[in-house]
Amino acid sequence: ELITLAQSLDLPLGLLSEEKVFNVATSTDHPSLYSTMNPLLTHLPTLISELQEDRVYNKAVIGFDQAFLDAQIQKIPSEIRESFEVIKSRDMLLEFMPKGVTKAYGLSLLVRDLGLKQTEVMSIGDEENDLSMLHYAGLGVAMANATEEVKQAADAVTSSNEADGVAQAIEKYVLNEGR
């Protein structure tokens, strides 16, 4: 489904599995920018016929120019959104994960395993992929450099990532040094 979608949107698709990115030839005119965003992963040009059906692909990504990507996102059919988590995690990055796989879900598993209460959790985020986690946590904190949507969803806003915002939030809300 995602290969067909990427082809119809003329966007490059990368499939992630075990620290490898299988870059599928879904667009002849638009090369993926994902390798520049995550250079530590191994990026492999891959034909659709070379994909292994028994391999576990953790997520699919589209890394491309923001203006074109944003225009194409508007064309994603509701059927895809019903089957996958479709989340923009950076200006130039769109991610697809199995339905229900979100940061909030991962956080809920950690909370359960640690025997914590949801109200005892603070999450900090800056992009759309952090929204579920900010809503889940007892205290959701947005970075100053977060998107407007993230700031609106958060309970508090801290300084930017370049001004030690995470450390400031931990000091204020966890270590209580700001009170």
Residue 177: band (very low, low, confident or very high) from pLDDT cuts 50, 70, 90: low
Contact between 156 and 141 (Cβ < 8 Å):
yes
Residue 20: strand pairing partners: 17, 42
pTM of the model: 0.81
Q: Which residue shows structure tokens 């879904």?
A: 26
The pLDDT of residue 178: 46
Say if residue 25's pLDDT is above 60: yes
How far is 142 from 139, CA to CA, in rounded Å? 10
Provide the percentage of residues in the chain whose pLDDT is more than 70: 98
The model's pLDDT over 121-160, given as tens digits with 9 standing for 90+, comes to 999 999 999 999 999 999 999 999 999 999 999 999 999 9
What would the pLDDT profile of 91-124 be if each residue is shown by its tens digit? 899 999 999 999 999 999 999 999 999 999 999 9
